[in-house]
Amino acid sequence: MTVLTCSAVLFDCDGVLVDSARIIDESWTRWALEVGVEPAAVLRALHGRRSQDTVALFVEDLVERAEALALIDAIELEDAAGTGAIPGARELLASIPEDRWAVFTSGSVPLATARLTAAGIQIPKVFITGDRVTHGKPHPEGYLAAARGLGFAPGECVVVEDAAPGIRAGREAGVRYVVGVGSHGFGDEVPDAVVADLSEMSWNGAGLSVAVGN
């Protein structure tokens, strides 16, 4: 094991704590077909972004954009019940003191709450969502807010992410380390460590232990 020394851990939600990839793809494909947009283009663009930022890429008219955003919000909430936990997520979170971890997700409060609940994961005390920030990822605002909410400087924190915009947000926030989760790639962003899932990490009191070779 190698140790990433830190005082707190800041987690993304989708793809990191909850296994929602299939549900997200199905929800956004359904949305794209209903609004007349090419589904493949939408699926390429959405990861790591807030819903409102993704919708804005494809719907220009402001009135239609608001309707399109309401539609995807409704679809995703309807589909959230099928969300499961990423392997190791519940165990890792249970081992970290409640005042040492937070979540920053591009999802809204209702959606993120629904997915975490469906996956059997507790709602954190510090819970920063896309509808609670002015700027979504890759802007660092959310991770800065999460660190501040826990009472730590960003340089005392580790960010755990699965997408390039989130990794960049963590870097720009000035966190000590960024861990990448999954195998779909991170674009031009290079995490300090990569794990298949959270079963390859543990909390040791001084930070995160990560399986050697990741």
Instruction: Tell which residue, 12, 25, 27, 31, has the closest CA to residue 76.
Output: 27
Contact (CB, 8 A) for 10 and 93: no
Residue tagged active-site, from 14, 73, 192, 197:
14
Alpha carbon distance 88, 176 (integer Å): 23
Query: Can 25 be counted among the known catalytic residues?
Result: no
Query: Can 12 be counted among the known catalytic residues?
Result: yes
Across-strand partners of 129? 105
Contact (CB, 8 A) for 200 and 211: yes
Number of other residues whose CB lies within 10 A of the CB of residue 206:
11
Number of other residues whose CB lies within 10 A of the CB of residue 207:
18
DSSP 8-state secondary structure symbol assigned to residue 42 = H
**Angle at the Cα of 191 from the Cα atoms of 186 and 197, rounded to 5 degrees:** 80
DSSP E strand stretches across the chain: 2-5, 8-11, 18-19, 84-85, 101-105, 127-129, 157-161, 177-181, 193-195, 201-203, 207-210
Q: At what angle do helices 141-150 and 164-173 cross, to 10 degrees?
A: 60
Residues acting as catalytic residues: 12, 14
